[in-house]
Structures are given as structure tokens and as C-alpha cells.
Amino acid sequence: MNELINAVSQCVDESCTSCTERTCISGAEILVCSLLRQGVRIIFGFPGGSVIPVYDVLYDTTEIQHVLVRHEQGATHAADGYARATGRAGVVIVTSGPGAANTVTGIANAYMDSIPMVVFAGQVASSSIGKESFQEADILGVTRSITKHNFQLRDVRDVAEVVHKAFFIAESGRPGPVLVELPVDVMKAKCQMTANSVDVSVKGYNPQPESGMEDIILAADALNRAEKPVIYAGGGVISSGAWEELLKIAEKLDAPVTTTLLGIGSFPEDHRLSLGMLGMHGTWFANMAVTEADTLLAVGARFDDRVTGLAEQFAPEARIIHIDIDPTCIDRTVAPEISIVGDARRMLSRLMPMLQDKTNSQWFSRIQQWKKDHPVYRKTGTEKGVSAQDIILQVSDMTSDNTIICTDVGQNQMWAAQNYVFKNPRTLITSGGLGTMGFGLPSALGASFGQPDRKVIAITGDGGFQMTVSELATASQYNVPVIIVMLNNGFLGMVRQWQQLFYEKRYSSTEIGSSNPDFVNLAESYGVNAVRVQTESDFTQQFSKALSMEGPMLIEVVINKEDNVFPMVPGGKPLSEMIEKE
């Protein structure tokens, strides 16, 4: 087996016939060979009975590093972080039944955010499926609505082809997760492994639909006529690698750019045309620019409810142009006047030559005045804790432009999005559509494995951190150089904020501080360096120390208990009706 795997690992051509030298190998061996053909070198997983045959092959496969997580959800989030940091599909292997079921949250998270991932889930023997066998779960049925596609292997002769298709589906078109079910008998069965065709065809799957040039011409005409244009960029800009085209078009049109949460990094936030993030916790000036724009170019964005607020009053004065690779995202929430279906990078490249060089001095001056009159809200520290916003600003000032920031969900996520200055794509990794607490730490581990030469910071809260705290063991075991900045306010902060603003401060089941563990001792028990800070100067000192360390470190920061995230658009309100500050 070693000779076979070595031959495959040296192969860069998927049509290579090296694998046919052995006439009879197991499904597990074919699986691992197929992963090597796909360029997989890192897998996140947790073993169990039904996948022992696969793990037995991995035991001798030095070309693939298996990262042992402490929970299957952690594996999916780590693979998710890896994918966002690298642009390649993250890979997960888990056992059947509870192991497969534990991946559901992470798969749904990747599906909502269009992240490429391939999950290999063990299954009982084919003859036992559907008989309520030990550790059997209908993971195909469970995940059908949260995957781009899923496969159940029934014949060892199909293993190589299914793996090939799984990666093609996950990474092409609008990316997303694919699940492959591995019955244990198929993994044990043997056959000859044949070469894959480089070209993949999946019946009924068209990953690259495209509009004709007439729609692009209409869009160019509308943008050339615009006096108050705004570009609204989503995560699709990053997925397609369209950030250079976005920058050139913005500068050519002299059009300000606002991004979704997942679009952060697609446009440099220190650029004069940057408006930052829009939406529920977007900047005041981004929301008002969209509200007053006469033309809105939306690229790789799906008009999520957290962005639009009251959809009927979103960009009420604008001619809306929507570019997206997924036709189902167009006209689903907001009806565009001009729709362009296709890959963002290709469509912007076709649009660019038709655009005129423009200067929108009056529009730009109005926005600059908004920025001056309504800056991003920041609260200073008090004797009861430091300011979370100031901590994020310090992190931004003390790290390089290619540092990767991974966040959990809630107030810590929004403070990071609002206050860290992101200048490059794939530098913010966060859970957008699903809003998954516990995402921060494992996604940071995955990002660090994917980009080992870059510094990775996990920003989390005391609530979300505890949901996947066991992954500290993973960080310790592999000495992953991740810095964890935990903002501890003793609350489930974002829910508490809503309770304060809309439910008369009736803090029902959101106060957790009294039952929180000693986080420093907890981290140290896992072998992770940890420190608690209560002043900004202490944080500066400890964060500087952490930046020079080779292994993981937790910095617990005691922040103000009732600090809030502003601006805030209340649910069901238009973007123009913001709560700007306390």
C-alpha cells in the first residue's frame, strides 16, 4: 500500500494510471488514493467503528495529516475555517450514527455560507442499512436539505468516481458542502482502482450558468448614468476571486463600496471609497448611502434579511443590478431591475470595459460628511471592565494586513467586524447565515492548518467559547499557534442586548458569569498558556507576548457587562431607522 500511495501522491494528473499497478485494493485504500489525487493533505476527523478500515489506511499514509478533533462539530468548523482561509475544500471524516449526526451543525453552517467541504461519514454495512442497526442514522436524509449533494456508496468500484464528483460539486459554481456515506462493507471490499477522467459530468448539474451580453450592456448603461452609485459586495466576490475587479470598477465609477459580513475583506477598508459593512449592525453611513443611492450594484450577495432590514424599503430610490452565480438567489428577496447570472469575476471582467471613468464629487462629499457626523460607535472602558471596541482596535493596530481573524457569533463578532480594519480577502472567517456559536475556536484551528505561515486570531465570547472549548485539546496536541481573545462579559451578550433594548431588561437565562469556570485554569489544564487581563495596558502587553509565541494562548479580557453593539437596526425596520448609540 505504501508504494501505491507514494505513486499517487506524486501524481498531478488525475488521469494518471499509477493506481492500476495493483489489481486488487480495498475501498478504503481507493478512498485515500482518491483524496491524494484531489490534492488533500489535511483531514479533520474523529474515528469510530465503521471507519476503522479508512483509519487503518491513514495510519500508513504520511502524505495526509489527520487532525484529531475532540468533537465532530469541531471537525466541520475546522474544515470550514480551512476552506475559507485557502479557497480549497475542507475535508472531514467521521463515523456513523452519532458521529455523522454531530456534523449537522457544521454542514448547515457551510451550506448557508457557500463554503466548499466534503464530509465522509461512516455507515453500517449495506445489508444492515434501514434495520435500526447499532450506530445507524439516516445521515443522507438528515443532510439532504443542507448539502449541495450527497452520495451513498454501494459498490467499491464507484469509490474513485464518487470522490472525484464530490470535490467537483463542492468547489464548482456556488460552493457548498457534499456528504459521502461510507458503508463499512464497501470500505472492506476490493477491486482494481481505475484512472479518473479529468472532466467531470454530473447529470442535471450546471455549475456555470451565464447571462448574455445584453444584460451586461444594460448594467453598464445604468452605472454610467448613475449620479449616486453604491456597490454592495458579498461573499461571492471572495469565492470567485473577484476582489481586484471590484476595486478597479469602484475606482473607475468613483462608487463607494459596502460589504456584507461575509464580503468583508473583498474591498480594503482603509480605501477612501470604503463604507464598511451594511445592515443590522452596519455603519450609519453605509446604510444611509444604500438608502439614498440611485443605482445599486450587488455582486455575489443574496440580500439577506440582516442586510436589507425591511426588504420593501431597501434601497428605495435605486435601480438595482444583481450579479450572482446562483439563479435562485436573484429576485428571491429584492427584485432587481437588471439581473446577471454568472461567476462574479467573469461578469465584472466583461462589465469593466463598458464603464466610463467618472467623478461623483457631490455624492462623495455627502458621504464624507456622514462619516464625520456619524462615526462608528465606540464606548470607552470603565472601572467595571475594558471596552471591547478598544481591544479590537488594539488587535487591528498590532497585527499585519494578512492576519486571519476568526470570530464566534454575537457581540464579539460584530465588534470585530466594525472595528478591525480588514484590507485583504480571506482575512475574516466568521459564521454568517447560520450564526453558529462555538465557531470561533475550531475555525481558527482549521485556518491555521491551512495557512501555517500566517498569524491567526480567534475572537470569541465566554458563551460561544464554552460550546467548543474541548478543541483546546486539539490546539494543545498539535501546538497550533492560535491566539484566543475571549471577551468575557458574563452574559450571552447579544441576546442580553435585545432583552435590554426590547424586553425591559428582563435578562431571562442570559446571565452566565456566576457559573463560568476559571478560564485560565481551564486552558492551562489542557496545556494551553492563558492569562486574564482587566486593563487595556495589560492586554497590550500580553497580546504582544502572544504574537511572539509558537503555540496557542488564551487571553481572557474582562469587559463591561452591559456594553452594546451600535448602530443597530431593529428587526422589521428599514435601514434608515437605526439606533445609533446608547
Under 8 Å between Cβ of 333 and 320:
no
- Identify the CATH number of the domain defined by range 213-373: 3.40.50.1220
Average pLDDT over residues 464-478: 98
Confidence tier at 194 by pLDDT (50, 70, 90): confident
438: nearest Cα among 415, 407, 417: 407
Give 39-75 as a 3 state SS string.
CCCEEEEECCHHHHHHHHHHCCCCCCEEEECCCHHHH
Cα 161 to Cα 560: distance, rounded to the nearest angstrom: 55
DSSP H helices in 139-212 = 139-143, 159-171, 184-188
Residue 470 pLDDT greater than 70, yes or no: yes
Cα 243 to Cα 265: distance, rounded to the nearest angstrom: 9
Residues 550-559: tens digit of each pLDDT: 999 999 999 9
**What b-and-e string marks burial along 399-412, b requiring 16 or more CB atoms within 10 Å of the CB?**
beeebbbbbbbbbb
Cα 82 to Cα 85: distance, rounded to the nearest angstrom: 5
Portions of the chain given CATH number 3.40.50.970: 2-191, 388-558
| Domain covering 388-558: architecture | 3-Layer(aba) Sandwich (3.40)
Cα 339 to Cα 324: distance, rounded to the nearest angstrom: 8
**Percent of all residues in the chain with a pLDDT value above 70, rounded to a whole number:** 95
DSSP structure class, residue 338: E
Residues 339-373: tens digit of each pLDDT: 999 999 999 999 999 999 999 999 999 999 999 99
321: nearest Cα among 301, 337, 307: 337
- Rounding to the nearest 10 degrees, give the CA dihedral for residues 95, 99, 105, 108: 30
Average pLDDT over residues 274-292: 98
DSSP structure class, residue 197: P
Q: What is the pTM of this model?
A: 0.95
Q: What is the pLDDT of residue 17?
A: 45
Residues 296-315: tens digit of each pLDDT: 999 999 999 999 999 999 99
CA geometry: angle 88, 89, 93, nearest 5 deg: 145
- Rounding to the nearest 10 degrees, give the CA dihedral for residues 326, 571, 275, 344: 0
Under 8 Å between Cβ of 482 and 120:
no
Confidence tier at 380 by pLDDT (50, 70, 90): confident
CA 73 to chain centre: 15
94: nearest Cα among 67, 60, 64, 127: 67
Average pLDDT over residues 247-253: 98
- Please give the mean pLDDT across all residues of the chain: 94
DSSP structure class, residue 174: S
CA 444 to chain centre: 11
CA distances from 547 to 4, 202, 399 (A): 42, 46, 8
CA geometry: angle 305, 580, 364, nearest 5 deg: 80
CA distances from 70 to 482, 501, 575 (A): 17, 38, 41
| Domain covering 2-191: architecture | 3-Layer(aba) Sandwich (3.40)
**What b-and-e string marks burial along 525-543, b requiring 16 or more CB atoms within 10 Å of the CB?**
ebebbbbbbbebeebeebb
80: nearest Cα among 115, 35, 119, 53: 115
Residue 18 pLDDT greater than 50, yes or no: no
Q: Which residues make beta-bridge pairs with 257?
A: 231, 274
CA geometry: angle 485, 491, 495, nearest 5 deg: 110
Residues 146-189: tens digit of each pLDDT: 999 999 999 999 999 999 999 999 999 999 999 999 999 999 99
Q: What is the pLDDT of residue 335?
A: 95
Q: What is the pLDDT of residue 581?
A: 86
Residues 96-129: tens digit of each pLDDT: 999 999 999 999 999 999 999 999 999 999 999 9
Q: Which residues make beta-bridge pairs with 574?
A: 309
Q: What is the pLDDT of residue 198?
A: 62
Cα 258 to Cα 275: distance, rounded to the nearest angstrom: 5
How many helices (DSSP H) and strands (DSSP E) are in the chain?
24, 20
Under 8 Å between Cβ of 484 and 441:
yes
Can you read off the three cell numbers belonging to residue 197?
Answer: 477522467
Q: Are strands 190-191 and 25-26 parallel, antiparallel or unpaired?
A: antiparallel
Q: DSSP string of 202-248?
A: -TT--S-----HHHHHHHHHHHHH-SSEEEEE-HHHHHHT-HHHHHH
The dihedrals phi and psi of 18, each to the nearest 5 degrees, come to -55, -35
CA 425 to chain centre: 12
Q: What is the pLDDT of residue 10?
A: 46
Residue 196 pLDDT greater than 80, yes or no: no
CA 515 to chain centre: 30
* Burial of residue 294, with CB atoms counted within 10 A of its CB: 0-12 exposed, 13-18 middle, 19 or more buried: middle
Residues 434-456: tens digit of each pLDDT: 999 999 999 999 999 999 999 99
Instruction: Please name the amino acid found at residue 68.
Output: L
Say which residues have a Cβ less than 8 Å from residue 59's Cβ, sequence separation at least 6: none
Portions of the chain given CATH number 3.40.50.1220: 213-373
Q: What is the pLDDT of residue 5?
A: 56
Confidence tier at 203 by pLDDT (50, 70, 90): confident
Residues 29-52: tens digit of each pLDDT: 999 999 999 999 999 999 999 999
**Cell 497585527 -> residue:** 399
